[in-house]
Amino acid sequence: MIEIDRLTKRLGDTLIVDDVSMVVEAGTIAVVVGTSGAGKSTLLRMINRLIAPTSGRVLIDGQDTMSIPEDVLRHRLGYVIQGNGLFPHRTVAGNIATVPRLLGWDAKRIARRVDDLMTLFQLDPAEFAKKYPHELSGGQQQRVGVARALAAEPALLLMDEPFGALDPVIRNKAQEDLLSIQRRFGTTIVLVTHDMEEAFRLGDRIAVMDDARLLQYGTPAELLTRPAGEFVERLVGTTERPFRLLSLTKVKDVVEPGTSAGQPLDAATNLRDALSHLMWCGRDTLPVSDEGGALLGRITVEGILAHARQPA
C-alpha cells in the first residue's frame, strides 16, 4: 500500500504539485490523468524521490520513504518511462538484469529471472537475449522496459506514460499484457497518462489532476457518474460517458434468465463490446456462455442500455 500525504512541490513561486493526498491499495492500479503540465509526472517522481518534495510525505507499507536511502528505495520500486530509456549499450538480457545486478544477486539467479521474464513477455530468450535495443521494434523495446522494471520483483511499479510512444494496435496489446501481469503478481501500480481511454481501461482508481491540484480520486464509475466539477466532467468526455460506463461492466453481471438464438457471447466481455456486437449482428438479444461454454442465460440491448443511463 502506498500513502501520499499532503505532498507539495514548489519551484520558486510556482506550485507544481499542490497538497495532494491519495492512497493506493496494495494490488491495485491507480492511474493519474490530467493535461500536460498538471504535475502528474512530478507527483510520480516524488514517490521514488527523483524529485524532492517541498513538503508532505510518502509512506510505502507504512514506512516513510525519506527514512529509506534513495538507491535502496529505487531498487524496491520498478520504474518505467515513456520511450522506455533502455541502455543502448547493453543487450536485452543485460538491460533486464540491471537492478538484480545492483542488488548483487548471484549469476545463476539473475539468468533464471531474466529467462523467466523474457518468456513472460513473449520474447524468446534464445532469439532476443543477446540483441541490442536498437535491433528491436518499439513494442519489443517497451516490453523489455517493463520486464526490466519488474526484474527485482518490486511490490510497487511506477509508470510514466509507459505506452505513449506506441502505435494503437501495439498499445492495446501492451495494456492487456500489463493487466495480466499485474493480476498474476499482484503488483501495485501507479501509472501516469494523458490518455483517458487508457485510464479507464487500466485504472482501479483514477486520479484527475489539473493545475497542480488533485481534483478527484475515485473509481472510474464514480468519475463518470459523480464528477467533481466541470473539469473532470469535460475530461471524462460528456459524449463518451455512456460508452465508458458500459465498458466498466461485464456481461456476466447483466445476464438475464432465458434463452436466445445465435452465437453465444463470452460472459467476460464488457457491455460496450457486447452492445457493439449486438448492433453489428442486428440482433436484440444473444445467449451468454461462460469460459467453458456452458450457457448462463441471455443478454438484451435493453438490459445493456439500462446500464448506460445517468444514475438518478
Partner 1 sequence: MMRWGNIAWFLALALLLAFITAPDLFTFVFAPLTEHNAPPIYNQGSLLSLTLSHLLIVFGAAFASTIIAVSLGIFVTRPSGVEFLPLSRSLVNIGQTFPPIAVLAVAVPLVGFGETPTFIALFLYGLLPIFENTLSGITQVSPLTLEAAKGMGMSPRGRLFGVELPLALPVILAGIRLSIIINLGTATIGSTVAAKGLGEVIIAGLQSNNLAFVLQGGLVVALLAILIHGVLTRIERSASARLGGRGSESL
| Interface residues toward partner 1, by CB under 8 A | 48, 50, 70-75, 79, 81-89, 98-99, 102, 132-135, 145, 148-149, 158
CB of 45 to partner 1, least distance (A): 8
CB of 205 to partner 1, least distance (A): 23
- Closer of 156 and 267 to partner 1 (Cβ): 156
- Closer of 152 and 224 to partner 1 (Cβ): 152
CB of 296 to partner 1, least distance (A): 46
CB of 88 to partner 1, least distance (A): 5
CB of 254 to partner 1, least distance (A): 42
Q: d(Cα 162, Cα 145) in Å, to the nearest integer?
A: 9
CB of 9 to partner 1, least distance (A): 17
> In what helix (H) or strand (E) does residue 148 lie, and over which residues does it extend?
helix 138-150
- Closer of 74 and 205 to partner 1 (Cβ): 74
- Closer of 89 and 108 to partner 1 (Cβ): 89
Per DSSP, the residues of 266-284 read ETTSBHHHHHHHHHHHT-S
> In what helix (H) or strand (E) does residue 143 lie, and over which residues does it extend?
helix 138-150
CB of 64 to partner 1, least distance (A): 18
In this structure, what C-alpha cell is assigned to residue 87?
541502455
Per DSSP, the residues of 51-117 read S--SEEEEEETTEEGGGS-HHHHHHHEEEEETT----TTS-HHHHHTHHHHHTT--HHHHHHHHHHH
Q: Of the candidates 250, 238, 259, which has an alpha carbon nearest to the alpha carbon of residue 291?
A: 250
- Closer of 51 and 59 to partner 1 (Cβ): 51
Q: What is the amino acid identity at position 283?
A: R
- Closer of 7 and 246 to partner 1 (Cβ): 7
* Cα Rg of the chain (Å, integer): 22
- Closer of 134 and 184 to partner 1 (Cβ): 134
Look at the alpha carbons of 193, 12, 22, 189 in this order and tell me if their dihedral is positive or negative.
Answer: positive
Q: Is 184 helix (H, G, I), strand (E, B) or coil?
A: helix
